[in-house]
Amino acid sequence: MALTTRFGTLFGLIAIVALFSALSPAGFAQYSNLINITQQMSLLAIVALGATYVMALAEFDLSVGAVVSWAGILAVTLFGAGWGLPATVIVTLASSFLIGGVSGFMVARFRMPSFIVTLAVGTIVGGATFWLSNGATLFSGIPVPFRDLGRGSLAGIPVLTLWALAMAALTVFVLDHTELGRRIHAIGGNREAARLTGVPIIPNTAWAFALCTLFAGIAGLLLTARLGSAHPTGGTGFLLQAYAAAFLGMTAFRNGEANALGTVLGAAIIAVAANGLTILGVPNYLQDIFTGMIIIAAVLVRNVGRGGE
């Protein structure tokens, strides 16, 4: 495998960091700002890591943004109803897990396109979120211990950064070192061949989708803890950026294969670009253009490394 194919995206991140460091040494090139970037990218990385499970299946789950919003609204609603912290977290994450499991079952059992199924499920979840919140931002009754889950730092490292690292380690373990991970990759590589070799398609597909939305639910809880409130559209912005990060990750370390470390690298590229452009005072619409150009450049780097195949 050519060097540019395996490490081209990493080299791209290094080049972007070097560029912003040269343009703004007093603003960007500071240790405190780099630590801040890891915190800014943490929730995106968690959602993108969830998306990595379904991308390893060669599928998509477009409900992740809606699930992020759902988790926050449901948690605050339960807190307002007098529920305790453990019960609220368990019920919220269980519902998030179930949403993906239902989507995965329909995709695998009835051979329905994941794009359509998860778009519909996401729409249903979004409607339920608005119904539960009456379209308003919720902030009452959130206990301090819950807020602490998304705030503060440990040994100088933001708590959210530690959460992202933990989710990345879990995803590496599941996808690279478990039977479930091997089966997910087998189905994504060739569904029919996997079926003929005895891989159970329906349960493994359902697990991948369920883990995807579970991670979205975790991100929703952490976002609510960080902000101290929940908005019914709070997760909308995560969908496209999460898949952009996961897709960028497919150009890193492995030849077009979804992988956790690559996804984290993709999230880092998006976060670094956003942070650097903000420090330079670049308008948001130009940031979107720049992010799109980064994705195209990553694809070009991969194709050049593969000899233009």
Q: Which residues are 153's β-sheet partners?
A: 158
Domain range summary for the chain, segments of one domain joined by +: 3-22+31-305
pLDDT tens for the chain, 309 residues long, are 556 567 777 888 999 999 999 999 999 999 999 999 999 999 999 999 999 999 999 999 999 999 999 999 999 999 999 999 999 999 999 999 999 999 999 999 999 999 999 999 999 999 999 999 999 999 999 999 999 999 999 989 999 999 999 999 999 999 999 999 999 999 999 999 999 999 999 999 999 999 999 999 999 999 999 999 999 999 999 998 999 899 888 877 776 789 999 999 999 999 999 999 999 998 988 878 877 777 776 666 656 655 544
Q: Which CATH class is domain 3-22+31-305?
A: mainly alpha
Give the model's pLDDT for residue 298. Answer: 61
